[in-house]
């Protein structure tokens, strides 16, 4: 009888241990899936911000750090449609002179030009600054400046996730792709993302 009680007790301990291990493994897998899903949303939003900032810079000659200006640019601004033609005239002494004519044909809205995909139909561009699925309503950090590089003034931009969902993403990591998700650089002319 005593052996039977010990056997039953050991069976319950084995079952409890198996349930604990299965739950631990499952919760770890579920957490990795959740991190991948949220990071995919963060990357999509960073790509949208990047597209808007590149458009803003193309029109105004600089990037913006003001989220309201960026949202208004997307919703209400437009690009000029231009046509460029060149005429080359050979001068008497053999050199060429080039006359460039640029005609403005009309305008196209930023929405129609950059954000015409169906996923942007009901997109709330006022929410661009917020990190997806962040319970603390944290915002992306945006940095823009004009720096001097090889004697030339250039515009730089960096937008980064200030509250990564993946706890292993840290500024102290040596690997660029293990730092918080971001695009651009404070010191180089680039708009590439560290996920690319």
Q: Indicate whether 25 pLDDT > 70.
A: yes
Eight-state DSSP code of residue 177? G
Both tokens of 106, joined, read 């009309």
**pLDDT tens string 73-128:** 998 888 888 888 888 888 878 788 888 888 888 888 888 888 888 888 888 898 99
Give the residue among 77, 155, 161, 67 at the shortest CA–CA distance from 114: 77
pTM, entire model: 0.79
Beta strand extents in 60-163 (DSSP E only): 78-90, 96-109, 141-149, 152-160
Q: What is the mean pLDDT of residues 11-26?
A: 82
The residue extents of the domains of the chain are 2-64+114-184
Q: Do 157 and 144 form a contact (C-beta atoms < 8 A)? A: yes
For residue 32, give the 3-state DSSP assignment.
helix
Instruction: Characterize 21-58 residue by residue with b for buried, 16 or more Cβ atoms within 10 angstroms of its Cβ, and e for exposed.
Output: eeeeeeeeeeeeeebeebbeebbebbebbbebbebbbe
Token pair 């033609």 is found at 85
**pLDDT tens string 67-84:** 999 999 998 888 888 888
In this predicted structure, what is the pLDDT of residue 143? Answer: 93
In this predicted structure, what is the pLDDT of residue 176? Answer: 66
Q: Do 164 and 180 form a contact (C-beta atoms < 8 A)? A: yes
**pLDDT tens string 143-181:** 999 988 888 889 999 999 988 888 788 777 666 667 888
Q: Do 64 and 70 form a contact (C-beta atoms < 8 A)? A: yes
């Amino acid at each position: 009888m005593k052996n039977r009680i010990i056997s039953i007790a050991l069976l319950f301990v084995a079952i409890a241990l198996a349930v604990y291990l299965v739950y631990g493994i499952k919760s770890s897998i579920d957490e990795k899936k959740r991190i991948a899903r949220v990071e995919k949303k963060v990357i999509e939003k960073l790509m949208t911000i990047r597209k808007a900032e590149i458009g803003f810079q193309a029109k105004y000659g600089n990037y913006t750090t003001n989220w309201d200006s960026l949202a208004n640019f997307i919703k209400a601004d437009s690009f000029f449609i231009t046509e460029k033609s060149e005429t080359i005239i050979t001068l008497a002494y053999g050199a060429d002179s080039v006359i460039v004519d640029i005609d403005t044909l009309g305008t196209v809205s930023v929405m129609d030009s950059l954000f015409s995909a169906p996923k942007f139909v009901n997109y709330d561009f006022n929410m661009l600054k917020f990190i997806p699925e962040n319970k603390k309503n944290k915002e992306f950090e945006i940095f823009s400046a004009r720096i001097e590089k090889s004697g030339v003034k250039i515009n730089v931009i960096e937008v980064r996730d200030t509250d990564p969902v993946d706890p292993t993403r840290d500024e102290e990591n040596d690997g660029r792709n293990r730092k918080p998700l971001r695009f651009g650089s404070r010191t180089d002319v680039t708009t590439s993302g560290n996920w690319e």
